């Protein structure tokens, strides 16, 4: 995102320099402004193409979410990790190994002194009673994620509204600039500058995908609210399947998120 900001900012700086310095009769300053702006944009574009920070970030989030759902399934005795099942530690480690296979672009050097993939906290929660596991899963997983998706849905909706107002304002001012050029022969290239501003805002909104995320996160939040409302009536025999279905509701949005980014 910082590389994209730099690229769009460089292009806007070049357009601004061309609009005002040429009008002021200082073509050399306009040239330097254009050179600086396009060099910034080019450097940002080359960095993104070579380092691929977006792909590393997408893979990192995909790995974190996959490990998170796996850890919750294990800790609360969800599907494939039922309380009476044997060899669950081996199943957990094997599935985690499958996640790690797809992370060739990531630096996974440990930031802690942990020597185990299954933490004492996970084992302690797994050993608790059914009612304790149900309560922890309801508050620590379902309600926690519902609140996160609800907040992010609202956050994206507000950002979409603000950026929409900004691009409409830029386009409206562009219309006004065109009228001034036609009616009063203004020499300042406001039309070209405002067109660049509107294009930059549109590119930023497309990159952030505020509209798509607001809708997708809102749907996931409602689905998790429905799951939270029914968790109290789930019996111990139904629990493993219920945990699996709950995690699928969370993973469904995440899987779509990954697919739209080519991960």
Chain segment 53-107, per-residue pLDDT in tens: 888 888 788 888 888 999 999 999 998 898 888 889 999 999 988 888 767 667 6
The residue among 230 and 188 whose pLDDT is bigger is 230
Statement: residue 263 has pLDDT above 60? no
Average pLDDT for 114-134: 90
Banded pLDDT at 19 (limits 50, 70, 90)? confident
Statement: residue 23 has pLDDT above 70? no
Statement: residue 179 has pLDDT above 80? no
Chain segment 194-231, per-residue pLDDT in tens: 778 888 888 888 888 888 889 889 998 999 999 999 99
Model pTM score = 0.79
Half-sphere CA count of 49, side-chain side, radius 13 A: 7
Share above pLDDT 70 across residues of the chain, in percent, rounded to a whole number? 86
């Amino acid at each position: 995102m910082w590389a994209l900001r730099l690229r769009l900012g460089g292009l806007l700086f070049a357009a601004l320099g061309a609009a005002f310095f040429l009008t002021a009769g200082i073509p050399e300053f306009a040239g330097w402004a254009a050179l600086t702006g396009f060099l910034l944009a080019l450097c940002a574009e080359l960095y993104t193409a070579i380092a691929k920070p977006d792909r590393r970030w997408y893979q990192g989030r995909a790995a974190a979410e996959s490990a998170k759902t796996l850890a919750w399934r294990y800790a609360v005795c969800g599907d494939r990790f039922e309380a009476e099942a044997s060899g669950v530690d081996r199943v957990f480690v094997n599935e985690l190994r499958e996640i790690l296979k797809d992370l060739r672009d990531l630096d996974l050097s440990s930031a802690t002194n942990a020597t185990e993939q299954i933490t004492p906290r996970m084992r302690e929660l797994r050993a608790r009673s059914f009612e304790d596991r149900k309560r922890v899963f309801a508050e620590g997983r379902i309600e926690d994620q519902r609140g996160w998706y609800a907040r992010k849905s609202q956050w994206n909706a507000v950002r979409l509204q603000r950026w929409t107002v900004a691009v409409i304002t830029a386009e409206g001012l562009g219309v006004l600039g065109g009228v001034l050029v036609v009616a009063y022969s203004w020499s300042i290239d406001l039309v070209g500058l405002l067109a660049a501003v509107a294009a930059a805002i549109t590119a930023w909104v497309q990159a952030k995908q505020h509209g798509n995320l607001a809708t997708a996160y809102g749907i996931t939040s409602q689905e998790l609210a429905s799951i939270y409302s029914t968790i109290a009536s789930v019996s111990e025999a139904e629990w493993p399947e219920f945990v699996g279905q709950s995690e699928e509701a969370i993973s469904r949005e995440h899987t779509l998120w990954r697919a739209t980014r080519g991960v």
